[in-house]
Structures are given as structure tokens and as C-alpha cells.
Amino acid sequence: MDRYPVLAAAGDIVIRHRLFSEGAIAYPGYESTLGYLRRSDLVWGSCEVQFARKGYRTDAPIAYLSDPAIAGDLGRAGFEIMTVATNHTCDFGPEAFLETLEHLRDAGITPVGGGRTVNEAMAPVVRDVAGRRIGFLAVSCLLPPDYAATDQRPGIAPLRVDQWAEFHPVMLATEPGAPLKMRSRIQTEDLETLVNAIRKLRPDVDYLVVSVHWGYGRGDTQAEYQRPLGHAIIDAGADLVLGNHPHSPAGLETYRGRPILYSLGNHVAQQDWANATPVQKEIFSQIDPWSLVCRIEFSQGGVRSIEFCATECDAEGMPNLITSKDASRPVLERFRRMSANMGTAMEIEGHCAIARFAEAEAAPRGS
């Protein structure tokens, strides 16, 4: 009988403290979460800090420069591939960013979505897993000044977004001061670059995963550009869109038989409350303590199923697996309702939720 690979995924990782102390894990409550992730062939995460000895603080409202030894701890914990195409991996400048890539590699973690040039940042990572080849690409729609890689500048793989406010003079006169609707769309040139990268990689892999840093950090509301972008990625030939950045689980869409995961929420959330400014505290207060981890099972034609389990961050910002059926149900039910609104059926079984994709093998590819 053929065996197909299983990919485990966690959300955004904001980590400032060592995971291991004197040979033992420093957070015993995290053991069950790691155990769940390790019951897979490959563990993926989203890197939201820089691991470097020095750097200069950019204008980022929240930025952390973490001990490079923590990168080693993440590798020891079992993480093997991470997107660095996020809005925080350049918070202390390009030298610290390049140093971060090296520390991740030294830890046995393959970074994707960043490099010395835009070509390096857009380059795929291919891993042989359980006799199959899984290809990964990673891009970010969140691009603070100078974070996007160019031909001459290190940085993250960019997917630029045009945005504008929509004015309705009559409505504004009727309700002065009402919030303006923000319109948004991916710039055509960057979308073509991503689509071409997917099409080029597709013949060389059995499965193709695209990570996208997108949306809003607070809440699960979607920006206008997100769903068209997710559809374009699947249309180009991807088997799975693995979204990140929103600090709450943001739902799972099924499109042409394939999953678009908008966000798992936070994974590790070690924000510095003690030294936070009022602006930072206002942001931190809206971060959801509940998040998800998942195990993605592939089949001959793509993703066969995704199992989701809920976690809750403790006082130290570490995600503890919720194994109680009653305690996990509110988190999973909320995620199930959001996903149902995007065409995804999901069953809650015990303390986990499962989405199955029976139509995946019949879905057209690369059109």
C-alpha cells in the first residue's frame, strides 16, 4: 500500500526565550503540542522574529531581536522548514535578516521566502518526504519600507498590494465620519511573477505548497485582495495555500477541491508586555490566545485531509494543546463556521476537527 506524506503546520512564532534549559524543555506544557506536530513527516512554521547578535531597529512598531540559540532550540523542537516572508523578519535590518537565515539553516531549519536578492527570495524549496517531492514557495503581501528583496537588496519575497479608499459622496453626507471602505488588489506584475514560479515548479514536484503572509493582524476579517489571490494560486497549480499573519484562526476555504488556509493564528506569542508602549499594549490586547495546529495528509492527487487541534497560549506565551473535548469545542466550532461560509465541510471528532477533500484528484491543474 502506498504511503503518502503528512505535513504538520503551526502558526506565527514570536519567540524571545529559550525553549530548553539544562537539556530539558523549559515549558513542560508545550510537550504535548510538540508531540502532536512531530507525528508527521515534516514540521512547518512561520518565523516572526530575527535571530541575530546585532542590528539596527527599523520603524517597525513591534520588533524583537532574539538570541540565535533560540533558532537552535526550534530545530531541536522539530521544526524543519519555516517561511521568513513575514512583516517582522527584517525589523533589525538586512544584516540581521541574513544572519537569521544562517542561524535557521545551522539549526536544521530550511528557510523559504527570503534571500540576498529577489531571485533567491522567490526560489522554491523542495523536500523529499515519504518518497514524494513537496515544493514550497513563500511570499508576503505585508511589506514595510525596504523589506522587499530586490536585485540589489536582501529581503523577503514581495507580493505588492495596491489599495485605495472608496468614496460615496451621498453616503458620506448622510453619515459624516463613517469609516471608508478600503479596496485592494495584488499588483499585476508581482502576481504574474508568483504564477510563473508556481507553473515552473509544478512539473518537478508531487505536491506544491504556497505560503502567503496576508490579511490583518487583528481579527479574522479578510482584505479584498485575499480570496482572488488564493484562487489565482490554486489556478496556477498549487495544492495548498498556507496563510499566516492574522492573530486568530481565519478559516479554511475549499476552491476547486483544494484548501486555502487563511491563518492558523499565533503559535508562540511571547510579546514583551513588561516594556510595551501604550500602542503596543493596545495591539497585544487584541491577540487571540487560542490558535490551531494541523496535520495535512496528502494523497495521490493533492491534499486528502487536514486535521486541526486547538491550542491555548499560557502566561509565558507557549501554546498548550487542548485535549479536552469540551474546552476545544468553542475554538473548533468558530473555525468550522468560518470555513463553512467558504465552502469547506468540517467534522468535529473529539478534540480535533477534520476537513476532507474527496474531489482533489479530479480538480483541473495549472490552467
| pLDDT score of 222 | 93
Q: Could you tell me if residue 1 is inside a domain? A: no
Q: Could you tell me if residue 203 is inside a domain? A: yes
Q: Could you tell me if residue 311 is inside a domain? A: yes
| pLDDT score of 236 | 98
Number of domains the chain is built from: 1
| 146 class by beta-carbon count within 10 Å (0-12 exposed, 13-18 middle, 19+ buried) | middle
Contacts of 35 (CB under 8 A, 6+ apart): 321
Backbone region of residue 237 per phi and psi (left: phi > 0; alpha: psi in -120 to 50; beta: other values): left
Q: Could you tell me if residue 367 is inside a domain? A: no
Q: Could you tell me if residue 226 is inside a domain? A: yes
Q: Could you tell me if residue 141 is inside a domain? A: yes
pLDDT digits (tens, 9 = 90+) for 196-221: 999 999 999 999 999 999 998 776 78
| pTM listed for this prediction | 0.94
| pLDDT score of 362 | 43
34: containing domain:
6-362
- Whether 268 and 283 have beta carbons less than 8 Å apart is answered as no
| pLDDT score of 279 | 86
CATH number at residue 10: 3.60.21
pLDDT digits (tens, 9 = 90+) for 242-292: 999 998 899 999 999 999 999 999 999 998 888 888 888 888 888 888 999
* Helix/strand/coil for 78: coil
Q: Could you tell me if residue 288 is inside a domain? A: yes
Contacts of 202 (CB under 8 A, 6+ apart): 135, 208, 236, 237, 365, 366
- Whether 335 and 351 have beta carbons less than 8 Å apart is answered as no
pLDDT digits (tens, 9 = 90+) for 322-345: 999 999 999 999 999 999 999 999
